[in-house]
Structure 1
Amino acid sequence: MKILIAIGTRPEAIKLAPLVHELVNHPEFDVEVCVTAQHRSMLDQALGLFGIVPDYDLNLMGQNQTLAEIAGRILINFDDVLVRSQPDVVVVQGDTTTTLACALTAFYRRIKVAHVEAGLRTGHRHSPFPEEINRRVATVLSDWHFAPTERSAMALRAENVPESAIHVVGNTVVDALRIKAQEVRDHAAEFEERFAFLPKEARMVLVTCHRRENFGGGLENICKAIAELGRAYPDTHIVYPVHLNPNVQGPVKALLDGLANVHLIEPQDYLNFIWLMDRAHLVLTDSGGVQEEAPGLGTPAVVMRDHTERTEAIDAGTAVLVGSDPARIVASVSELLDDDVVWRRMATAANPFGDGHSCARIAEVLVRDAKPYRGGEARF
Structure 2
Amino acid sequence: MLTFKKESKKVCILTGTRAEYGLLYWLMKEVASDDDLELHIIATGMHLSPEFGLTYQQIEADGFSIDAKVEMLLSSDTPVGLAKSIGLGVIGFADALERLKPDILVVLGDRFEILAAAQAAMVARIPIAHIHGGETTEGAFDEQIRHAITKFAQWHFVAAEPYRQRVIQLGESPDRVFNVGSPGLDHLQYMDWLDRPTLEQSLEIKLRSPLFLVTYHPVTLNQESPSIAMQELLVALDSFPDATVILTYPNADTGGRVLIKQIDQWVTHNQHRAKAFVSLGQQRYLSLMGEADVIIGNSSSGLTEAPALKKATVNIGDRQKGRLKAKSVIDAPERSADIITAIHQALSSDFQSMLPSVNSLYGIGNASQQIKEKLKAVTLQTQKSFFDIEHSF
Cα deviation for residue 198 of structure 1 reads 2.4
The residue identity in structure 2 corresponding to 1:241 is T
Residue of structure 1 in register with 2:391 after alignment: none
Cα deviation for residue 260 of structure 1 reads 6.3
Q: Is the 8 A contact 2:157 2:371 kept in 1?
A: yes
Q: Is the 8 A contact 2:232 2:335 kept in 1?
A: no
Q: How is 1:132-143 mapped onto 2 (pairs within 5 angstroms)? A: 132-143=143-154
Higher helix share: 1
* Partner residue of 1:335 out of 320, 345, 349: 345
Residue of structure 2 in register with 1:378 after alignment: none
The residue identity in structure 2 corresponding to 1:303 is N
Q: Does 1:306 align with 2:318?
A: yes
Q: Does 1:354 align with 2:363?
A: yes
Q: 1:317 is paired with a residue of what secondary structure?
A: coil
Q: Is the 8 A contact 1:38 1:70 kept in 2?
A: no
What is the alpha-carbon root mean square deviation over aligned residues? 2.5
Residue of structure 2 in register with 1:155 after alignment: 166
1:15-42 residue CA offsets vs partner (Å, 9 max, x unmatched) = 1121111112222222211112344325
Cα deviation for residue 176 of structure 1 reads 2.9
Q: 1:91 is paired with a residue of what secondary structure?
A: strand
Residue of structure 1 in register with 2:106 after alignment: 91
Q: Is the 8 A contact 1:230 1:237 kept in 2?
A: no
Cα deviation for residue 246 of structure 1 reads 2.2
The size of the alignment, in residue pairs, is 362
Q: Is the 8 A contact 2:295 2:312 kept in 1?
A: yes
1:88-142 residue CA offsets vs partner (Å, 9 max, x unmatched) = 21111111112111111111111111001111124x4xx22x2111101101100
1:290-338 residue CA offsets vs partner (Å, 9 max, x unmatched) = 42111232211111122526632x2x2131222312222111111122x
Q: Does 1:324 align with 2:331?
A: no
* Partner residue of 1:366 out of 368, 371, 375: 375
Cα deviation for residue 364 of structure 1 reads 1.9
* Partner residue of 1:27 out of 19, 25, 35: 35
* Partner residue of 1:74 out of 72, 89, 96: 89
Cα separation, 2, equivalents of 1:219 and 1:343: 31
1:50-76 residue CA offsets vs partner (Å, 9 max, x unmatched) = 322211112333312522121111100
Cα deviation for residue 374 of structure 1 reads 7.7
1:136-187 residue CA offsets vs partner (Å, 9 max, x unmatched) = 110110000101100111111222211111100011111134322xx124x5
1:255-290 residue CA offsets vs partner (Å, 9 max, x unmatched) = 564146651422222222223211210110211134
* Partner residue of 2:214 out of 188, 198, 207: 207
Cα separation, 1, equivalents of 2:61 and 2:322: 26
Residue of structure 2 in register with 1:270 after alignment: 282
**1:78 to 1:228, Cα distance in 2 relative to 1, 3 A:** closer
Q: Is the 8 A contact 2:19 2:282 kept in 1?
A: no
Unaligned 5+ residue runs, structure 1? 376-380
Identical residues among aligned pairs (%): 21
The residue identity in structure 2 corresponding to 1:76 is I
**1:76 to 1:52, Cα distance in 2 relative to 1, 3 A:** same
Cα separation, 2, equivalents of 1:88 and 1:234: 54
Residue of structure 1 in register with 2:299 after alignment: 287
Q: Is the 8 A contact 2:316 2:339 kept in 1?
A: yes
Runs of 4 or more, structure 1, over 6 Å off, are none
Cα separation, 1, equivalents of 2:204 and 2:103: 49
Q: 1:184 is paired with a residue of what secondary structure?
A: coil
The residue identity in structure 2 corresponding to 1:333 is I
Q: Does 1:193 align with 2:215?
A: no
Q: 2:197 is paired with a residue of what secondary structure?
A: helix
Q: 2:360 is paired with a residue of what secondary structure?
A: coil
The residue identity in structure 1 corresponding to 2:300 is G
Cα separation, 2, equivalents of 1:311 and 1:132: 11
Q: Is the 8 A contact 1:223 1:256 kept in 2?
A: no
Cα separation, 2, equivalents of 1:270 and 1:286: 17
Unaligned 5+ residue runs, structure 2? 1-8, 384-393
Cα deviation for residue 49 of structure 1 reads 5.3
The residue identity in structure 1 corresponding to 2:20 is E
Q: How is 1:224-235 mapped onto 2 (pairs within 5 angstroms)? A: 224-231=232-239, 233-235=240-242
The residue identity in structure 1 corresponding to 2:308 is G
Cα separation, 1, equivalents of 2:196 and 2:341: 32
Q: How is 1:116-131 mapped onto 2 (pairs within 5 angstroms)? A: 116-122=131-137, 124=138, 127-128=139-140, 130-131=141-142
